[in-house]
Amino acid sequence: MEFETEAIHVGDEPNLEVGGTGDINTPIHLSSTFARREVDKPTGGYAYSRTDNPTRHALESKLAAIEGAKHGIAFSSGLAAETSLFLALLKAGDNIVAFDDLYGGTKRLLDKVMAKFGVSVTYVDATNSSNVRKAMRKNTRLVWLETPTNPLLKLCDIRAISSIAHEHGAVVGVDNTFATPYFQRPLELSADVSVYSTTKYINGHSDSIGGAIMLSDETLYEKIKFLQNAAGTLLSAFDSYLVMRGIKTLPLRMREHGLNAVKVAEFLESQSAVSKVRYPGLESHPQHELAKRQMNGFGGMITFEVKGGRRAAMKFLESLRLVSLAEDLGGVKSLAEHPASMTHSEIPRKAREELGISEALIRLSVGLENADDIIMDLKATLKAVGR
């Protein structure tokens, strides 16, 4: 089946057997536990909803299908998914080689939590694959990537880096939240694990917090499932239903996000009040050719810098009308935020500036409103900032 068909049908097959109800949508199984006739035989394989739940199981089947993976695992947040992966793979003395531009919450997890367990992290500019090769050590167990990155929208060559990592016996994990499986499928590019904050595009409606891991390695899958049950990092049945609902329109939404983002990025690039625009779909993006080769579309995320530094950025963000000032992304509504003050504020200022996260940088999640209306709001706001 094609992506659009899998997104709608997998996990939502109506039960037309005797006693079945024929639900077109998988029901929300809100039961915490499941009655059984025999002591040692859970009914339908379900015993307790922390361990497994019919609604979550249906979602996990759908997640695996859209990724082209054998397994999907749904978590209570994107960070819960990352934590479970890290704990399943790593022990004291192990090393992670990671992209230097990462979501602020991931850096916090690596630097302030995993470090306490004796796991070291080597940050590199993974836009150049040779930097990853130089950073690999005998104790490197994981290469952790985002592409495009948050917030600078840098890209790295997943296939090339996976080859390097596998030469050294390391696992490759890719946070694919920005691209989604619709625009990029890391496992097909030789990565081992795809990780998502389903809070973002996969759910797509800004009404559920969740995370996911998709993979095909059986041994690693069993380790992660054990940790999910042991640590209780599961996604609730209700949130599982919301994410399933969101996935059904994921292809349609991503296509429209991409179309709108191209128009908005081209508009911003034409504005004298804007000093720099980063969007993989623009020819001005330094890795535009890699984006065309590695992705099926360029996504809905844009970052740009306004002239006038922090003061101008603050005025811009606080003057928006249609676009909301909020930290989230990937929903139907357009959202903007100031990474240095919000999502990446815990990164020391010097480190942020070295990465390129300036005080003038704005991250824009382009929604599904009419592109002309989004541009009208941005245009009026830029005009107000210039006064």
How many domains does the chain contain in total? Answer: 2
Strand pairing report for 335-337 and 324-325: parallel
Please check whether residues 38 and 185 belong to one and the same domain: yes
333 is catalytic: no
Please check whether residues 260 and 358 belong to one and the same domain: yes
Please check whether residues 293 and 362 belong to one and the same domain: yes
Find the catalytic residue in 200, 225, 245, 253: 200
Find the catalytic residue in 101, 175, 192, 239: 175
Please check whether residues 329 and 210 belong to one and the same domain: no
Q: Residue 171 pairs with which residues in a beta bridge? A: 142
Q: Which helix (H) or strand (E) holds 4?
A: helix 3-9
Instruction: Please tell me the predicted confidence (pLDDT) of residue 144.
Output: 98
Instruction: Please tell me the predicted confidence (pLDDT) of residue 224.
Output: 98
CA separation for the pair 123, 198 (Å, rounded): 25
50 is catalytic: yes
Instruction: Please tell me the predicted confidence (pLDDT) of residue 387.
Output: 63
What is the residue-level pLDDT of the chain in tens, covering all 387 positions? Answer: 899 999 999 998 888 776 778 888 899 999 999 898 888 888 888 898 999 999 999 999 999 999 999 999 999 999 999 999 999 999 999 999 999 999 999 999 999 999 999 999 999 999 999 999 999 999 999 999 999 999 999 999 999 999 999 999 999 999 999 999 999 999 999 999 999 999 999 999 999 999 999 999 999 999 999 999 999 999 999 999 999 999 999 999 999 999 999 999 999 999 999 999 999 999 999 999 999 999 999 999 999 999 999 999 999 999 999 999 999 999 999 999 999 999 999 888 888 988 899 999 999 999 999 999 999 999 999 998 876
Please check whether residues 239 and 347 belong to one and the same domain: no
Please check whether residues 360 and 304 belong to one and the same domain: yes
Total Cβ atoms within 10 A of residue 223: 16
Please check whether residues 60 and 174 belong to one and the same domain: yes
Please check whether residues 170 and 23 belong to one and the same domain: yes
Please check whether residues 310 and 354 belong to one and the same domain: yes
Alpha helices in 213-344 (DSSP H): 218-231, 237-248, 250-269, 288-294, 309-319
Please check whether residues 181 and 259 belong to one and the same domain: no
pTM of the model: 0.95
123 is catalytic: no
- The CATH number of the domain holding residue 288 is 3.90.1150.10
CA separation for the pair 281, 52 (Å, rounded): 40
Q: Which residue, of 248, 275, 295, is where some domain finishes?
A: 248
CA separation for the pair 239, 76 (Å, rounded): 9
Q: How far is CA 324 from CA 162, 274, 327, in A?
A: 38, 19, 9
Alpha helices in 140-249 (DSSP H): 158-167, 180-183, 218-231, 237-248
Instruction: Please tell me the predicted confidence (pLDDT) of residue 15.
Output: 80
How many residues appear in the chain? 387
Q: Which residue, of 214, 248, 282, is where some domain finishes?
A: 248
Distance of CA 351 to the CA centre of its chain: 23
Instruction: Please tell me the predicted confidence (pLDDT) of residue 29.
Output: 94
- The CATH number of the domain holding residue 52 is 3.40.640.10
Domain of residue 169: give its range.
Answer: 3-248
141 is catalytic: no
Please check whether residues 223 and 357 belong to one and the same domain: no
Instruction: Please tell me the predicted confidence (pLDDT) of residue 384.
Output: 82
Please check whether residues 256 and 230 belong to one and the same domain: no
Instruction: Please tell me the predicted confidence (pLDDT) of residue 300.
Output: 98
Contact (CB, 8 A) for 13 and 26: no
Find the catalytic residue in 94, 100, 101, 103: 103
Q: Which residue, of 248, 277, 295, is where some domain finishes?
A: 248
